[in-house]
Amino acid sequence: MKKILFIILSVSLFSCSNDEDAAPSVIETSDFTNALPLNNGNYWTYDVMGTTTTRDSLYISGDTIIAPNTYKKFKNKNNVATGFYCTSVNNNGVRKDGGKLLLSGDFSFGLGASLPVGLDLNLVDFIIFKEYATSGEVLNEKSGSFSQDFNGVPLTVEYKLKSIGGENFANYSSPNGDPYTNVKSTKIILNLKVTTTQVFAGIPVTITVLAPQDVVTSTQYIAKNIGVVYTNTLTTYTLDSTAATTLGVPPTNTQTQEEFLDTFLVN
């Protein structure tokens, strides 16, 4: 009987110790997100610097319904965007939900722009920002595959699109020197694997064109009461050299693009 009582007490003490050591629960907040100006008529212009220097003009055109929710629709002047961020939200809907920003619409990345394949994904309430996320936390993930023809070569593309929690900055200076307060970052990562199946002597052989790798890493810096103030996007890939020759594209490519907020009007 004493032995049974000792075991019960030991288990109880162990359970209490585990409860005390448990990580504190995350406090869900929405103050920062609620202050982000998603109102009709708001606009932001960005100087885009990469292989060339261009300018994007992004604005909120009005409400759009993607059943069953209502979103704010983002558009670019003349429907033209060159920066990763402005391209990502162009003609798409964004809404707030409990400290998060959700995007619905088409996420596209043009064929041959910086990658040897094109990408056009339909996203529904994809989390692009969560204000109470921890650094490195996976906010959302979408994966799948599709077929694409490139210069007559049939390709199978496997993709994984992820959004990742970033850092918090009480004071933040953009690389161009512009100062901001109360800034949070968020990250978008695109991982690709590309294969092709060729027939040799009647036998189908699968060849890896692009081994699984992160080909796009884009970090957005968001200031309270303003929106995105700076975006840094790294695009890089390394192909199989023989496959690169067959496709007629460089075997490796690395580009860095920056989007600097220039002017804005929010209400």
pLDDT tens-digit readout, 40-95 = 999 999 999 998 999 999 999 999 998 899 999 999 999 999 999 999 999 999 99
What residues does each domain of the chain span? 28-260
Structure tokens at 7: 């075991």
pLDDT tens, 93-115?
999 999 999 999 998 865 445 66
From the list 60, 58, 106, the residue with the least C-alpha distance to 259 is 58
- Report pLDDT for 231: 98
Helix (H) or strand (E) holding 99: none
Per-residue DSSP letter, 53: E
Q: Which long-range contacts (CB under 8 A, 24 or more apart) does 134-142 make?
A: 134/26, 134/165, 135/165, 135/166, 135/167, 136/164, 136/165, 137/164, 137/165, 138/162, 138/163, 138/164, 138/165, 139/100, 139/163, 139/164, 139/165, 139/186
* Tens of pLDDT, residue by residue, the chain (267 residues): 444 433 333 434 344 445 445 555 668 888 999 989 999 999 999 999 998 999 999 999 999 998 899 999 999 999 999 999 999 999 999 999 999 999 999 988 654 456 667 778 899 999 999 999 999 999 999 999 999 888 888 999 999 999 999 999 999 999 999 999 999 999 999 999 999 988 888 898 898 999 999 999 999 999 999 999 999 999 999 998 888 888 888 899 999 999 999 999 999
